[in-house]
């Protein structure tokens, strides 16, 4: 989503993916925020935001900050800190909270530093999209397991739908007809869990 689309949902200040130290800088501002929403965070590009830094915001005295998380790094940290007061929002958060997924690489992506455009697909998005493809009858459960296993084996910056569907381990076990149908579904109809969760977070923050 671009800044204009975000502004239509909630009046928030949009910042780049969070890295270690960013929340501490916000808290040191003469007028620190009352609400912080975390969606994306830096992995390769910088040190990850630590749980302790999030807790410093939640426990800020005398004015605690309400910290929300969804979609990516926000969902991961919210699942870790939900009992400490961080507010988790969305499907990806629930996947982490339930233990359906647990590894950092499930939400890791690389992005263009100038446009902030994602250069790969997070594994959680792939899981949700492939599950939707099975529900729609695009591919079978057996084929979905092959695709997901192949995607998980890739280093996270290499995870794109085009690359996954070109892998020999996938092409050898899933018919060309099914792969064409899956490619079309992913291009046109697949849910985007990360985006949907970010929208849900913005709406939740706007409600206070």
> How many angstroms separate the CA atoms of 53 and 58, rounded?
9
Question: What's the domain range around 168?
Answer: 123-188
Within this chain, do residues 79 and 107 fall inside the same structural domain, yes or no?
yes
The answer for residues whose C-beta is within 8 angstroms of residue 156's C-beta and 6 or more apart is 43, 105, 108, 109, 110, 120, 122, 123
Name the band, by pLDDT with cuts 50, 70 and 90, for residue 60.
very high
Q: Is residue 130 part of a domain?
A: yes
Tell me what the mean pLDDT of segment 18-46 comes to. Answer: 90
Within this chain, do residues 83 and 168 fall inside the same structural domain, yes or no?
no
Within this chain, do residues 174 and 108 fall inside the same structural domain, yes or no?
no
> What does R_g of the chain's alpha carbons equal in angstroms?
18
Q: What does residue 135 show for φ and ψ, rounded to 5 degrees?
A: -60, -30
> How many angstroms separate the CA atoms of 49 and 67, rounded?
13
Q: Kindly report, residue by residue over 69-102, the tens digit of the pLDDT.
A: 999 999 999 999 999 999 999 999 999 999 999 9
Give me the number of domains the chain comprises: 2
Q: Which of 107, 169, 105, 106 is nearest to 143 (CA)?
A: 169
Tell me what the mean pLDDT of segment 38-64 comes to. Answer: 90
Does the pLDDT value for residue 196 go beyond 70? yes
Within this chain, do residues 169 and 72 fall inside the same structural domain, yes or no?
no
| 3-class SS of residue 65 | coil
Within this chain, do residues 32 and 107 fall inside the same structural domain, yes or no?
yes
CB 3 within 8 A of CB 14: yes
CB 86 within 8 A of CB 193: no
Name the band, by pLDDT with cuts 50, 70 and 90, for residue 45.
low
Does the pLDDT value for residue 205 go beyond 70? yes
Within this chain, do residues 146 and 158 fall inside the same structural domain, yes or no?
yes
With a pLDDT cut of 90, the percent of the chain lying above it is: 81
Does the pLDDT value for residue 162 go beyond 60? yes
Tell me what the mean pLDDT of segment 3-29 comes to. Answer: 88
pLDDT of residue 42: 83
Within this chain, do residues 99 and 201 fall inside the same structural domain, yes or no?
yes
pLDDT, mean over the chain: 93
Within this chain, do residues 22 and 58 fall inside the same structural domain, yes or no?
yes
């Amino acid at each position: 989503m671009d800044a204009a689309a975000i502004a239509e949902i909630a009046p928030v200040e949009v910042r780049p993916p969070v890295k270690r130290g960013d929340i501490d800088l916000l808290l040191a501002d003469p007028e620190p925020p009352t609400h912080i929403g975390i969606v994306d965070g830096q992995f390769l590009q910088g040190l990850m935001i630590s749980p302790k830094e999030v807790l410093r915001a939640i426990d800020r005295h005398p004015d605690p900050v309400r910290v929300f998380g969804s979609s990516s790094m926000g969902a991961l940290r919210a699942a870790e800190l939900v009992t400490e007061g961080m507010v988790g929002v969305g499907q990806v958060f629930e996947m982490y909270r339930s233990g359906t997924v647990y590894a950092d690489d499930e939400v890791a992506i690389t992005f263009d530093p100038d446009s902030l455009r994602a250069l790969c697909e997070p594994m959680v998005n792939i899981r949700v999209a492939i599950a939707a493809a099975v529900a729609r009858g695009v591919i079978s459960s057996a084929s979905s397991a092959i695709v997901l296993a192949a995607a998980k084996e890739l280093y996270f910056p290499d995870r794109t739908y085009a690359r996954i569907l070109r892998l020999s381990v996938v092409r050898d076990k899933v018919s060309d007809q099914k792969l064409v149908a899956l490619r079309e579904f992913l291009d046109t109809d697949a849910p985007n869990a990360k985006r949907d969760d970010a929208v849900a977070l913005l709406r939740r923050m706007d409600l206070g």
